[in-house]
Amino acid sequence: MARNGKMDKITSNELMLIYEKLFACYGDLDWWPAKTPYEVIVGAVLTQNTAWRNVEKAIANFGENLVPDFISNIDLNDLIEIIKPAGFFNQKAGYLKSVTAWYAQYNYDVPTVQQEPLEKMRTELLSVKGVGQETADAMLLYAFGYQTFVVDAYTVRLCKRYPIDAGENYLSVKNYFEKNLPKDTALYKNFHASIVMNAKDHCKKRNPACDICPIVFKCAKII
């Protein structure tokens, strides 16, 4: 809260308290919503610059064909038609081809990927066209179970409103959360998902519902 016109910075202990409050509200969200690890990879690409409901429409268009071999072999124009609901379809079709080619190096096999060090896999994914830091971390965490925290616009909003002194760029925020949380894949998944849910339910960009927010106890209410 603000004191004498100045805002207190949140402590690392309070970061876990935020998680506990969110968990008490939302429970285990079992996020990312996908049937297979490869569907996570596809969803992480398709969700760029669009709402999740549009991603769901694009994924439904695949039917039973949401598998690496299908995307690897399908004509690019046909792939574009399938993913049109997700927007930016020309670019994203190429991105899906590229990330699928990366996955092919590991025989489309999750355990084979998991044998490799996190930093190696993250560096490789960031070299794939269309895969930025948030997309790479989402794939690594949710598809392959690596201990890497995903930072998105909702995480940044949380940091600014409390405020959490996590820095100003993606890596600084990511490193802050990883430094101040237990190294636990399930916790990383659920904390990220809970931040997203709370941002949509309460901590909205405009007209936030602060009075019923489960983590309002520390928020500086920077609106």
Q: Is residue 217 part of a domain?
A: no
Q: Of 72, 44, 55, which is closest to residue 132 (Cα–Cα)? A: 44
Give the pLDDT of residue 94.
Answer: 98
The pLDDT of residue 87 is above 70: yes
Q: How many domains does the chain have?
A: 2
- E strands along the chain, which residues? 2-3, 6-7
Q: Is residue 21 part of a domain?
A: yes
Q: Is residue 221 part of a domain?
A: no
Q: Do residues 93 and 180 both lie within one domain?
A: no
Tens-place pLDDT, residues 88-138: 999 999 999 999 999 999 999 999 999 999 999 999 999 999 999 999 999
Give the CATH number for residue 79: 1.10.340.30
**Which among 126, 143, 160 is the end of a domain?**
143
Q: Do residues 134 and 51 both lie within one domain?
A: yes
The pLDDT of residue 11 is above 90: no
Q: Do residues 68 and 118 both lie within one domain?
A: yes
Q: Do residues 110 and 201 both lie within one domain?
A: no
Give the pLDDT of residue 4.
Answer: 37
Three-class SS of residue 7?
strand
Mean pLDDT of the region 67-86: 98
Q: Do residues 41 and 12 both lie within one domain?
A: no
Give the CATH number for residue 25: 1.10.1670
Q: Do residues 57 and 124 both lie within one domain?
A: yes
Mean pLDDT of the region 190-214: 93
Residue 219's pLDDT band, with cuts at 50, 70 and 90, is confident
Mean pLDDT of the region 12-38: 92
Give the pLDDT of residue 10.
Answer: 64
Q: Do residues 11 and 45 both lie within one domain?
A: no
Q: Do residues 70 and 127 both lie within one domain?
A: yes
d(CA 176, CA 10): 12
pTM for the model stands at 0.92
What burial letters (b/e) apply to 124-162, b meaning 16+ CB within 10 Å?
Answer: bbeebebbebbbbbbbbbbbbbbebbbbbebbbbbbebb
Three-class SS of residue 65?
coil
Local structure of residue 9 (DSSP, 8 states): P
Q: Do residues 124 and 161 both lie within one domain?
A: no
Q: What's the whole-number average pLDDT of the chain?
A: 92
- Whose tokens are 């308290």? That residue is 17
Range of the structural domain that residue 155 is part of: 2-31+150-212
